[in-house]
């Protein structure tokens, strides 16, 4: 499964967002301006996969959209085991509040990279997703395949053009 994306609704319920919604959303009279991104929570999560969308820039070729995302533990040390969800929640600051901004999400894997059977090793995954200014969203990874069980430092980044807005490193450890 690999990369995951989700968005928070008001209250304590967390539901998936169709991050490709920008393609069908009406054009805003004012372009979104992203000032910064703040990580508000990180670690291990539980979640339910609600759907998958094609994403050719990723190791698995898909991104999973999640619902019912719940923070389990605040940590940067992640056990290398099947089914583990890890990542972080973040808030996008800018203007106008509620506008969609296309952000680039990068996950950098430790050497030698992820090696899906029949494919060359991949040192990073990249995808673009539309995120709402002012909203809290989630980005992360789920270890669903044996070829994803790679110990070492995994780095999650959020970019706006050439500006790195956020970075969080996780150390995956064999248990």
State residue 140's pLDDT score. 95
Q: How would you class 25 by CB atoms within 10 Å of its CB: exposed for 0-12, middle for 13-18, buried for 19 or more? A: exposed
State residue 84's pLDDT score. 95
Q: Any residues with CB less than 8 A from the CB of 21 and at least 6 apart, and which?
A: 100, 130
Question: Domains of the chain (ranges plus CATH)?
Answer: 2-24+31-173 (2.60.40.2390)
pLDDT for 32-76, tens place per residue?
999 999 999 999 999 999 999 998 878 888 888 899 999 999 999
Low-confidence stretches of the chain (pLDDT < 70) are 1-29
Choose among 87, 82, 52: nearest CA to 72.
Answer: 87
| Structure token pair of residue 75 | 């940590």
State residue 59's pLDDT score. 87
d(Cα 114, Cα 104) in Å, to the nearest integer? Answer: 20
């Amino acid at each position: 499964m690999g990369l995951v994306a989700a968005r928070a609704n008001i209250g304590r319920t967390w539901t998936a967002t169709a991050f490709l919604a920008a393609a069908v959303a009406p054009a805003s009279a004012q372009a979104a301006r992203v000032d910064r991104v703040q990580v508000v929570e990180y670690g291990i999560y539980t979640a339910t996969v609600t759907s998958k969308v094609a994403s050719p820039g990723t190791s698995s070729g898909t991104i999973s959209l999640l619902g019912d995302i719940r923070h389990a533990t605040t940590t940067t040390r992640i056990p290398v085991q099947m089914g583990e969800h890890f990542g972080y929640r973040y808030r996008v600051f800018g203007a106008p509040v509620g506008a969609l901004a296309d952000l680039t999400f990068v996950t950098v894997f430790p050497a030698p990279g992820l090696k899906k059977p029949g494919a060359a090793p991949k040192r990073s995954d990249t995808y673009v997703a539309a995120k709402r200014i002012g909203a809290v969203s989630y980005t992360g990874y789920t270890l669903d395949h044996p070829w994803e069980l790679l110990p070492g430092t995994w780095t999650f980044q959020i970019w706006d053009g050439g500006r790195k807005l956020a970075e969080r490193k996780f150390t995956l450890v064999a248990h």
